[in-house]
Structure 1
Amino acid sequence: MDLDFSIITPYIPMILTGAWFTVKASLCSVIIGSFFGLIVGALRVLPFAPARALAATYIYVIRGTPLLIQLFLIYFGLPSLGINLPAFTAGVIGLSINSSGYVGEIVRGGIEAVPKGQWEASRILGLSYLQSMCKIILPQAIRNMLPAIGNEFVTLIKESSLLSTLAITELTMAGQQVRSVTYASFETFIAVGVVYLCLTSFTSLALQLIESRWQTN
């Protein structure tokens, strides 16, 4: 079989536009997901059993159900409750909620990796639990969390392909539209795969640079 990529050359701008939507959705989702994941992870180590149980249940449900089902519940399910969201907004919310469950466990692990002597030292200094967490524990825990959070961002870029099921013209949907016009399935999805590979490779490299600079400071 001979591959002819010249067939899809006129549609490269469409693919790149889809890639931009993928980047935008992934970036918004990882920021929002990390914020809520930080809260969930902090609740997981809170010295208050009901809060720990609530956070653990949240993580259990989010990590135990498919992202696709979560997206469908938000986009197709919420309208039955009178809540209608634009497709892109619903997609970002779904990705953010899913990401927060994984980030929550990353945060929990990062906090628990901080030596217990740091907690004892903060109590000796007369700091409250919140002050100890914000000023002493979290800054150290972030060093432990950076690689895992970076991997979560890379994973999120790939999982964003599921947004195509909500008719969002991200990279995968753009590829499907190009294929429907050119009928060049192999060439189209090879090109889409290469763009995904470039996005994840660039993201991994950028995160490695950030991590190395953080570790040397």
Structure 2
Amino acid sequence: MNFSFLPTYWGYFNYGVLVTIMISACVVFFGTILGIFVALMKRTNIKVLDWLVSFYVWVFRGTPMVVQIMIAFAWMHFNNAPIIGFGVLDLDFSRLLPGIIILSLNSGAYISEIVRAGIEAVPKGQLEAAYSLGIRPVNAMRYVILPQAFKNILPALGNEFITIIKDSSLLQTIGVMELWNGAQSVATATYSTVAPLLFAAFYYLMVTTILSAGLKVVEKRMAQGGNH
């Protein structure tokens, strides 16, 4: 296996992994906000809201992500979106924005179930105690329940981050120059199909391994903190 292309095309992989991490961080951030909102809406007694958010979760969890990406790119037109030079390649926001939006919507559907489970894992006595102290329901959820639920769901959110890093490779279907698309560009330029893709797979593995190790450290510290 010949990896002699690396000194010349190293920038493509570095650029791709930076874009991949940036996309994943944005998706988890917006997906978490959306997931919390959806989970809270499902806890209301308003049937219309419950139906709408249940329909949203049903659609995004029941259809392939690549199909969602292609539909979003066909529907969303950001003709005036900037193209910013970044290293050896350009960052095309007309393609990047639809990708981030649809991945966030997809992630929000899954995170909403994670948040719902985290809230339900908090003992009901916590909410009752808050009410007995005269705390309003909204404030009880915000200051009492959600902080405890967040501690429960943080490992799952970390795993969602890792999943999004891998799933972001699907954005190459709409021309986003993330890590996998960068590897394919190198393969085309060097007429070497397997080696660039193997190196990209290795890059993905290193990133997800480092993140997994970091998550284990965070989980260990949280577990130790909960014992005091």
TM-score, length-scaled by structure 1: 0.91
Deviations 1:149-205 (A, max 9, x none): 111110000000011111111101100000001122221111000100111112222
Match of 1:190 among 194, 198, 219: 198
Q: Contact 1:75/1:166 (CA < 8 Å) preserved in 2? A: yes
| Secondary structure of residue in 2 paired with 1:6 | coil
Q: How far 1:9 sits from its partner (Å)?
A: 3.5
| 1:14-163 alignment runs, 5 A limit | 14-79=12-77, 84=79, 86-163=94-171
Q: CA deviation at 1:145?
A: 0.7
Q: How far apart are the structure 1 equivalents of 2:59 and 2:124?
A: 29
Where does the alignment leave 5 or more consecutive residues of structure 2 unmatched?
Answer: 82-93
Within 2, Cα distance between the matches of 1:50 and 1:198?
A: 45
Kindly indicate whether the alpha-carbon contact (under 8 Å) linking 1:8 and 1:184 is maintained by their aligned counterparts in 2: no
| Whole-Å separation in 1 of the counterparts to 2:220 and 2:39 | 24
The residue type equivalent to 2:160 in the other structure is E
Structure 1 CA distance for aligned equivalents of residues 223 and 149 of structure 2: 12
Counterpart CA distance in 1 for 2:38 and 2:189 is 45
Q: Is the 8 A contact 1:7 1:184 kept in 2?
A: no
Query: Structure 1 residues 72 and 207 mapped into 2: Cα distance closer, same or farther (>3 Å)?
Result: same
- % of aligned pairs identical? 37
Deviation at 1:47, TM superposition (A): 3.6
- Whichever residue aligns with residue 16 of structure 2, its letter is G
Counterpart CA distance in 2 for 1:57 and 1:99 is 15
Name the Cα RMSD after superposition: 1.6
Secondary structure in structure 1 of the residue aligned to 2:76: helix
Alignment of 1:163-202 (within 5 A): 163-202=171-210
| Preserved contact between residue 68 and residue 162 of structure 1 (Cα < 8 Å) | yes
CA contact (8 A) 2:169 2:179 kept: yes
Change (3 A) 1:122 1:48: farther
Map of 2:89 onto structure 1: none
Which amino acid in the other structure matches residue 6 of structure 1? S
| Higher share of residues assigned helix | 1
- The amino acid that maps onto 2:208 is T
TM, length-normalised to structure 2: 0.87
Mapped to 1, the partners of 2:100 and 2:162 lie a distance apart of 15
Gaps of 5+ in 1: none
Distance 2:176 2:46 in 1: 41
Counterpart Cα distance in 1 of 2:42 and 2:160: 19
Is 1:212 aligned to residue 220 of structure 2? yes
In the alignment of these two chains, the number of paired residues is 212
Task: Give the C-alpha shift of residue 50 in structure 1.
Answer: 2.9
Contact 2:76 2:98 in 1 (8 A): no
